[in-house]
Amino acid sequence: MLQTAFDTEPSLDAKEERDIYLSAFRFMLLARVLDDKLAALYRAGKIHGGVFLGRGQEALSTAVGISLREGDVFAPLIRDAAGRLAFGESVLDSVRTHMGSPHGPMRGRDGNVHRGRPREGLLPMISHLGAMISVVNGILLARRFQKKSGTVGAACIGEGATSTGAFHEALNQAAVEKLPLVLVIADNQYAYSTPKSRQFACDSLARKAPGYGVGVQTVDGTDLSECLKAAGAAISRARTGGGPQLIVANLLRLCGHGEHDVADYVDPKLMNSSLGRDCVKAAEEFLARRHWLDASQAAGLREDIVHEIEAAVAQAQREPAPDPFAEEWRAIASEHLCEGQPEHRRI
């Protein structure tokens, strides 16, 4: 999380701009290397449950997480490792959850992606299919009733979720209530194996926004710069009373739906198109062109990241499994979710 959204500081000097890009790139790379490590652990049989990755979506996801502030609410989904890290989630929280450690935020109970820290604004997801939008709406409404202003809530979804009633009802409610909601659609061309031509018949999801009375921006989701500017602008508008904002990002999922899916249904033409550009490589090239990060600095950064992730994995591997005889089975005790309550019980 940065203290200021990218575009709310028109006077950003060159150093501040560089720092934002370098910080964003670090989160993108951290998420990519973490995803690769989790995939390797899954294939080695070290992770139970599914592993779902965000390859190809790191620029968009980072842009959202990094542009939010402390006190905001973020509802990431299964492809948002980058946004989670940028919002403040630790590598250890992710690794512990995937490896079933009772010391993780969900205490070893979660199927890997439903983790979060609600009191810190990071919501554990219920479902990937639009369910979290109305949860964010509810929190924003509660803040309004409590006369707390200035909070933004961001929710991420895929294009497949726009076919659900949950999406329609929540976006309509946010518009009617003029909630400071930023809804980010990663249009990654497939909902599991279903191509988007089987999800909607309009030429762009951006067309939905005027129908709800919502502001919209369309971005190249493989371009960090476009994503940072769009996320910063949307969050700033929502925060200053502009009502809900939609971002539609065009990109391609560069992996299967989960690590169990080889994704052989993906059209090779898409992979070779501009949608299939690897946003992490593109961002690294952008930083090199600006002389903000050379090849040896990039290699050093990657090395540091690998060490950080290896240390987290080693730590989680040393931790005991949950003891079914000594435990209650709730991941997060609901009475401890509200603000001002002590941390939920740890074993």
3-state SS class at 321:
coil
User: Rule CB under 6 A: is residue 128 a binding residue for ligand TPP?
Assistant: yes
User: Rule CB under 6 A: is residue 127 a binding residue for ligand TPP?
Assistant: yes
User: Rule CB under 6 A: is residue 20 a binding residue for ligand TPP?
Assistant: no
Query: What is the residue-wise DSSP string for 151-162?
Result: --EEEEEEGGGG
Give a three-class secondary structure readout of 66-115: HHCCCCCEEECCCCCHHHHHHHCCCHHHHHHHHCCCCCCCCCCCCCCCCC
CA-only gyration radius of the chain, Å? 19
User: Rule CB under 6 A: is residue 32 a binding residue for ligand TPP?
Assistant: no
- Counting DSSP H helices and E strands in the chain, the numbers are 11, 7
User: Rule CB under 6 A: is residue 84 a binding residue for ligand TPP?
Assistant: no
User: Rule CB under 6 A: is residue 161 a binding residue for ligand TPP?
Assistant: yes
Give the type of residue at 341. Answer: Q
Q: Which whole-number Å values give the CA distances from 296 to 39, 282, 284, 314, in the listed order?
A: 26, 17, 12, 27
Min CB(171)–ligand TPP separation in Å? 14
User: Rule CB under 6 A: is residue 129 a binding residue for ligand TPP?
Assistant: yes
Toward ligand TPP, which CB reaches closer, 131 or 312?
131
Write out the binding residues for ligand TPP, residues 186-225 only, by CB under 6 A: 186, 188, 190-192
Nearest to 33 by CA among 303, 252, 293: 303
Considering only 8-16, 83-91, 125-133, 168-176, which stretch makes contact with ligand TPP by CB under 6 A? 125-133
- CA atoms of 15 and 324, how far apart (whole Å): 52
Q: Cβ–Cβ contacts within 10 Å for residue 14, how many?
A: 9
From candidates 102, 116, 124, 158, binder to ligand TPP by CB under 6 A: 158
Min CB(197)–ligand TPP separation in Å? 13
User: Rule CB under 6 A: is residue 79 a binding residue for ligand TPP?
Assistant: yes
User: Rule CB under 6 A: is residue 286 a binding residue for ligand TPP?
Assistant: no
Min CB(281)–ligand TPP separation in Å? 21
Q: Contact positions toward ligand TPP, by CB under 6 A?
A: 79, 127-129, 157-161, 186, 188, 190-192, 253, 257
